[in-house]
Amino acid sequence: MTHTIQSLIVSFFHNYLRDQTGCSPNTIQSYCECIRLLIQFCCNQQQVAADALDMETINDETVLAFLESLEKERGNLPRTRNQRLATIKSFYRYLALQEPTLMDACRRICTIRAKKTDHKIMESLTKDEVKAILDAIPPDTLWHQRDYALILLMYNTGARVQELADLAVDDLKTDGAAQVKLKGKGGKERIIPLWDETAQALKRWLKARKHAGISAEHLFVNAHRQQVSRFGIAHIVAKYASQAGQECLSLREKKVTPHVFRHTTALHLIQSRVDIVVVKDWLGHADIRTTSLYIDINIEMRRKALEQCPPPGVEKDEPALWHQPQVMALLQSIAACNYVK
């Protein structure tokens, strides 16, 4: 091979992911972890050092064995396995462009199909649950002002947690038509309008932090006057969700995270009949198919609500007629089972 394994990896992460595609540091970190695990797996199999590993020895069978090990040995769920597979495919597509000798391996690896996963409805909050969390935040201290403004802004914008952590004071406009500028994946920027309530909460936080002598560039800071991390934001959300659960019983059954707030914003926009293209731009989705998932979720929620109210003459614990299997389908499935036996 013309390139060493080290040069290929450096080129993929720096030249391609960072410079060409503009991936976020979190995305690059996720890709890096996957490739590290793959190389470690191959080295253990071949009993060679990483520096001596020949990329041509990694084929579709190797990748399949690696994916199986992720599930059996590391306990990864199929969804995580599929994410790892997507990373490996992206990696090998790039390698094939750099090293023509890897094109056949790339082609075979790219034919590996993702594993089927159970359709899981994304966790979200009701408007009453959002209000309960906000009501659980006292208004009396500097950090309570920050937490209230942070969570209200999170719900208003549906921003990713890293987008909130990276926000600068200059990204905010609270006078006139209040708005905030978010920088999403790939460095793409979007402008989100703010409710008056959100703008006022942010003004109170800015005034409080100025009075406390905080002049940091970032909008949200921690007790050390440094940029709050995404883990810090997750801790803040979980803390108040737990406190709110003392009064709002439904919150006790939910694990509330910043991403749950993002799902909630998306779902509430869909339920308010906001055009899906607007929701797509609001959330910063690259593909409208991602946004369309929230339409499916909304329909599923309505279907479950309908199940709680069966038609006249049908007991609640009986399956409604439209949920019973069709006779022909049932016969076909029985025939198929008997044929296999």
The active-site residue, picked from 3, 93, 254, 259, is: 259
Angle ∠(303,266,29) on CA atoms, nearest 5: 120
Q: Which of 131, 185, 190, 230 is catalytic?
A: 185
What is the pLDDT at residue 226?
A: 95
- 3 given a catalytic annotation: no
Bridge partners for 238 per DSSP: none
Which pLDDT belongs to residue 211?
95
Q: What is the pLDDT of residues 320-336, one digit of tens each?
A: 444 444 544 444 454 55
Q: Does the active-site annotation cover 273?
A: no
Specify burial of residue 73 (Cβ count, 10 A radius: 0-12, 13-18, 19+): exposed
Report which of 218, 227, 230 is spatially closest to residue 29, judged by C-alpha positions: 230
pLDDT band at 316 (very low <50, low <70, confident <90, very high): low
Residue 41 pLDDT level (bands cut at 50, 70, 90): very high
Output the pLDDT for position 47.
92
Choice among 81, 84, 146, 160 that is catalytic = 160
Domains in the chain: boundaries: 5-110, 127-304
**Is residue 330 packed enough to be buried (19+ CB in 10 Å), middle (13-18) or exposed (0-12)?**
exposed
How much of the chain exceeds pLDDT 90, in percent?
Answer: 59
- Provide φ and ψ at 15, rounded to 5°: -75, -40
pLDDT at 91: 94
Structure tokens at 14: 């720096």
Question: Given this model, what pLDDT does residue 323 score?
Answer: 46
- pLDDT, mean of residues 194-220: 96
Catalytic residue among 218, 262, 263, 268: 262
The class of domain 127-304 in CATH terms is mainly alpha
Q: Of 24, 43, 40, 42, which is closest to residue 109 (Cα–Cα)?
A: 42
Reported as a pLDDT band with limits 50, 70 and 90, residue 185 is: confident
160 is catalytic: yes
**Where is average pLDDT lowest: 117-121, 127-131, 203-207, 313-317?**
313-317
How would residue 337 be classed by pLDDT, with cut points 50, 70 and 90?
low
pLDDT of residue 120: 63
Q: What's the pLDDT score for residue 287?
A: 82
Q: How confident is the model at residue 26 (pLDDT cuts 50, 70, 90)?
A: confident
Q: Taking the mean position of all CA atoms in its chain, how far away is CA 239?
A: 20
Which pairs count as long-range contacts for 38-42, CB under 8 Å and 24+ apart, including other chains? 38/63, 38/66, 38/84, 38/88, 39/5, 41/65, 41/66, 41/69, 42/66
**Mean pLDDT lowest among 53-62, 146-155, 277-286, 332-341:** 332-341
Share of the chain above pLDDT 70, in %: 84
- The reported pLDDT for the residue numbered 7 is 84
Q: What digits encode the pLDDT tens for the residues 6-15?
A: 888 888 988 8
Euclidean distance between CA atoms 119 and 293, whole angstroms: 11
pLDDT tens digits, one per residue of 156-173: 999 999 999 999 999 999
Q: Tell me what the mean pLDDT of segment 241-246 comes to.
A: 96
Global pTM reads 0.68
Count of CB atoms situated within 10 Å of the CB of 40: 13
Ramachandran quadrant class, 86 (left: phi over 0; alpha: psi -120 to 50; beta: rest): alpha
The per-residue pLDDT for 219 is: 97
**Residue 117 in 3-state DSSP?**
coil
Model pLDDT, residue 213? 96
Distances, alpha carbon 234 to alpha carbons 161, 195, 228, 259, in Å: 8, 23, 10, 9
Q: Pull the structure tokens for residue 109.
A: 């690896």
The answer to whether residue 260 scores a pLDDT higher than 80 is: yes
Over the chain, what is the mean pLDDT?
Answer: 86
Active site includes 262?
yes
Give the model's pLDDT for residue 51: 83
pLDDT of res. 331:
47
